[in-house]
Amino acid sequence: MAKRKTKFVCQDCGYESTRWMGKCPGCQNWNTLVEEIESDSSAPKRGFSTGEKRTVKPEPITAIERTEEPRISTYINELNRVLGGGIVPGSLVLVGGDPGIGKSTLLLQVSSTLSERKQRVLYISGEESTKQTKLRADRLGIGNDQLFVLAETDVDHIEKVIEEMKPSLVIIDSIQTVYLESITSAPGSVSQVRECTSAFMRIAKTKGIAIFLVGHVTKQGSIAGPRILEHMVDSVLYFEGERHHTYRILRAVKNRFGSTNEIGIFEMKEEGLEEVLNPSEIFLEERSTGAAGSAVVASMEGTRPVLVEIQSLISPTSFGNPRRMATGIDHNRISLIMAVLEKRVGMMLQNHDAYVKVAGGVRLDEPSIDLAIAVSIASSFRDAPTAPADAIVGEVGLTGEVRRVTRVEQRVNEAAKLGFKRVIIPKKNEGGWTIPSGIEVTGVSSVNEAIDVTLGGVSSGSPKFEL
């Protein structure tokens, strides 16, 4: 008998080696190389080719006819927003998130809304039996004869079922549980995940069927399996949220058919996930009035303005090196803004610990939140509360200047809708747009000026959501 050839494959990045190593040279992680049996090189390769030789000639891009891709509405507005307007037929979408975050619940609800509109949906569960899926569907109040459930992990059999049924949507829960018999490694390994995804991609593209893949995540929060998995699919959606909170955020980190900055916000309830129509009010509903270290920022998440509270706590340190901790904001950004406050404003923060948090569990990464962070830190350091009806937006430069931001009109309109009386914006953003009635807009050109405006006086009135 011929000796079987083996290789060692990293389960995080897909690096291959002929011998075992404790540390992967590709991703520098420890104990991630697992022994796998090399597949037969004579086995047919999977992909878009059907075995026949094709003679396709290149053509000028100007001669290619442009066609608009028809989209299938999920009838869930938050999901439609993240997908870019709906599901594109023939697309391959990867959905990741922590265990129990609500991935299967959301996809089961999508299956229900489509099946109720006479769209045939195939839900394939590799982790639960059909009876377990039925129990969850009954709890969510889901039941329709156009929704089909299959408990199967063999990709070849799944492909045959798809060819027979010809559904509009297929959901694979999850990609780590399915396998190909031609691959000798165990389900969930790098080889299996890569080849199974390639097989589903071929099915989606050749048959025009939208396929959703559920992916497990690692302890670091990234989708388990090789990084190439995210490059193969058309869209990557992350389901975020804390176990102790009921709110969930669906974020697109890759989307070939729409924006990658959109988020959808849901609330987990007993009957399933429910859309949050006004996320700003949700994020601000527990905000306390008259508390030092609090500032409200008008941030943009894709095309949607969201008002979020930023909280800071500055206290004298009892250690040699002061601590800098951040939740929902990049840690390095906090250090940079504190350095600007020390150098340009004269605040001696080098002997103080700093704790900065975005309330509500949302994560912010756009530059326009810099000024709100600076005001929040200054408010806690001086123990002087900001006005409860003030919203702040602006980017801070290293010389202490406040730089212009994009879509300032949308931010101000959202603040006015929630009952704010004043918005602090960069001086360069003044003019050229219509200020809504009932709100004051104040332009500032430096961090010093912004701190004097926000902490020097309190504007009249208070937002309607204040308790």
Structure tokens given for 57: 């000639």
Say whether 125 counts as a known binding-site residue.
no
Say whether 425 counts as a known binding-site residue.
no
Whether pLDDT at 372 is above 90: yes
Question: What is the SS3 assignment for 450?
Answer: helix
Mean pLDDT of 357-374: 90
431 vs 458, higher pLDDT: 431
pLDDT digits (tens, 9 = 90+) for 230-239: 888 999 998 8
What contacts 452, CB < 8 A, 6 or more positions away? none
Question: What is the SS3 assignment for 220?
Answer: coil
Q: What was the pLDDT predicted at 244?
A: 64
Say whether 198 counts as a known binding-site residue.
no
Whether pLDDT at 145 is above 60: yes
What contacts 235, CB < 8 A, 6 or more positions away? 83, 91, 92, 93, 94, 252, 254, 255, 256, 257, 258
Say whether 97 counts as a known binding-site residue.
yes
Query: Is the bond leading into 174 cis (omega within 30 degrees of zero)?
Result: yes
Whether pLDDT at 415 is above 50: yes
pLDDT digits (tens, 9 = 90+) for 81-107: 999 889 999 999 999 888 888 899 999
Mean pLDDT of 47-54: 50
- Alpha carbon 463 to its chain centroid, in Å, reads 29
Top mean pLDDT of 5-14, 40-49, 102-111, 278-287 is at 102-111
Say whether 98 counts as a known binding-site residue.
yes
Query: Angle of helix 103-116 relative to helix 130-139, nearest 10 degrees?
Result: 80
**Could you tell me if 373 and 310 are in contact, meaning their C-beta atoms sit under 8 angstroms apart?**
yes
Tell me the pLDDT band of 226, cut-offs 50, 70 and 90. Answer: low
Mean pLDDT of 385-405: 94
Whether pLDDT at 156 is above 90: yes
Say whether 100 counts as a known binding-site residue.
yes
Say whether 102 counts as a known binding-site residue.
yes
Tell me the pLDDT band of 465, cut-offs 50, 70 and 90. Answer: very low
Q: What was the pLDDT predicted at 370?
A: 96
pLDDT digits (tens, 9 = 90+) for 236-272: 998 887 666 788 889 888 999 888 778 888 988 888 8
Mean pLDDT of 161-188: 90
Task: Please tell me whether the overall predicted TM-score, pTM, comes out greater than 0.85 for this model.
Answer: no
Whether pLDDT at 191 is above 70: yes
pLDDT digits (tens, 9 = 90+) for 5-19: 788 888 777 788 888
Say whether 431 counts as a known binding-site residue.
no
